[in-house]
Every structure is written in structure tokens, then in C-alpha cells.
Amino acid sequence: MKYLIFSDIHSNLEAFNVFLKKARSLKPDAFVFLGDAVGYGANPNEVMETLASLPNLVAVMGNHDKVALGLDTTMLFNPVAAEALNWTRKKLSPFSIQFLKTFKRGPLRLRDGICICHGAPFDEDHYIFTPAEALEAIEFSGERICFFGHTHVPAIYEFPPEKDAVAIYHPLEQGNTPVKLKKEFFYAINPGSIGQPRDRNPRGTFLIYDDKKNQVKFYRFSYPAEKAKEKIINQGLPEVLGERLLEGY
Ligand SMILES: [Fe+2]
């Protein structure tokens, strides 16, 4: 089975449209979304309508999605993110709210051996940036593979059966090289972000996990980031939210 795993769209319709074209051409069996459909960008409703059209979609809620629904507050958010979320809450259509409410609370068992979440299985608002955090995520989940989002940085953390070492892959320009997953090893894997990449590369990222081949393959795509930036500014959202799209931070 081919799972297309993607995360952190953040209301960026320009990026989402380019992603979708590529994603459909890869003919996955299921779409797995790791959260943060909205927040930051200028097109929350258009993104939600398009996301709802994807077949076989499993989606978990991101921290921005929770605040957009009023399930959480902006207390832990920086002022720029909070401003964009207040704007988003006013903009969300009844359809978007209704669809957002169908997202599952992570962590979630996708199937035997696979956990999906937004931040970390032990705390959905936690950022996994270190091998220790990646290992904690795997151990807490009780599964062999844990897919997570939230950091907007594509990465694979690989642990041997004894969990006494770690190998880390950060797919950058060479995003298309498949990584073979070893039997009995443990993995924490982040597909990166569709709409706000933060690894100093402005191109969006996602991945395909093929459980027959037992491999993960990352994809990177360029999109009209300048247009997404203009829309952000035209909506009166903080300018930095547009600027960062051009640099990938
Ligand atoms: Fe995010």
C-alpha cells in the first residue's frame, strides 16, 4: 500500500495546488495528513474545500487547527502566529469549521506498527528536533514507525533494534532518493511542510511510504511563493509571514 504523507499546509493555496497535481500523479492508495491545515496563510477556506475532496483521507488536528476551532487558546503562540489565527477564526466558513471538526485528535494508530501525530505522541504540541525526542516518541507510541509533523523540517530518525544508536537523514535538494527502511529498526519520520517549509529551502515537501517496498521517498516541489506572499500582505496579515515563504524559514 502506498501512503502519501503530508503536513502543515497552513492555508497556502498556491503550494497546495502544486502539491495536489504532483500527489495525484503518484496515485497513492491513501492520503495521510498530519495537521495544521490552516493558520499563517491567506486561503483557509479554499484549502479546506480542496482538502475535503481527497479520497481516502486520514487527518489529525494540528495546534493551529485546534485554536482555529476554539478548542485551544493562542497562549503558547508567538504574536505573529496568534494574529494570523485570530484572522483565520474570523474567516473560516461553516463548511471549513465542520470539516476541520472531523480531524482526529492525535496520536493515532494508522495501522499495525504505524503511529501518526502532529507534534509528538506524548504531547501533540511538542516539537521533535532531537534524537532523544524522536526516541521518546517511538517508545511512547509503542509502534515501529512514527510519522510526525509540526516542525516543518523533513527528517528521518533511524534507530537499530537495541535503540542504542541513531542515524539522521535530512532530505534537501536530493529529496527524491528513496530510503529503504530496515527490518526490526525503529523510525520517527517527518514529511516536512507543504505550505511553510522551514529548512532554509522554500520548496514544499511530502513523502510516500510504500509498505510493500518498505521504503520512504521524499518529494520537493517549487510553487509560486511570491503570489502566496502577496496575498498574505493584501489580507493585512503580518508581512513576515509572506517573506519567510521566499526563504524557507
Ligand atoms: Fe505547523
Compute, in angstroms, the gap from residue 10 CA to the centroid of ligand 1: 7
- The pLDDT score that the predictor gives to residue 177 is 75
Per-residue pLDDT of 66-112, as tens digits, reads 999 999 999 989 999 999 999 999 999 999 999 999 999 999 999 99
pTM above 0.95, yes or no: yes
Compute, in angstroms, the gap from residue 183 CA to the centroid of ligand 1: 31
Compute, in angstroms, the gap from residue 164 CA to the centroid of ligand 1: 30
Compute, in angstroms, the gap from residue 244 CA to the centroid of ligand 1: 13
Compute, in angstroms, the gap from residue 64 CA to the centroid of ligand 1: 7
Confidence of residue 142 (pLDDT cuts 50, 70, 90): very high
Confidence of residue 174 (pLDDT cuts 50, 70, 90): low
- Backbone φ, ψ for residue 228 (5° rounding): -60, -40
Compute, in angstroms, the gap from residue 150 CA to the centroid of ligand 1: 5
- In the predicted model, is pLDDT for residue 176 greater than 80? no
- The pLDDT score that the predictor gives to residue 173 is 61
Please compute the mean of the pLDDT values over residues 212-231 and round it to a whole number.
Answer: 96
Compute, in angstroms, the gap from residue 106 CA to the centroid of ligand 1: 14
- In the predicted model, is pLDDT for residue 17 greater than 90? yes
Confidence of residue 41 (pLDDT cuts 50, 70, 90): very high
Domains, the chain, in order of start with CATH, read 2-247 (3.60.21.10)
Compute, in angstroms, the gap from residue 84 CA to the centroid of ligand 1: 12
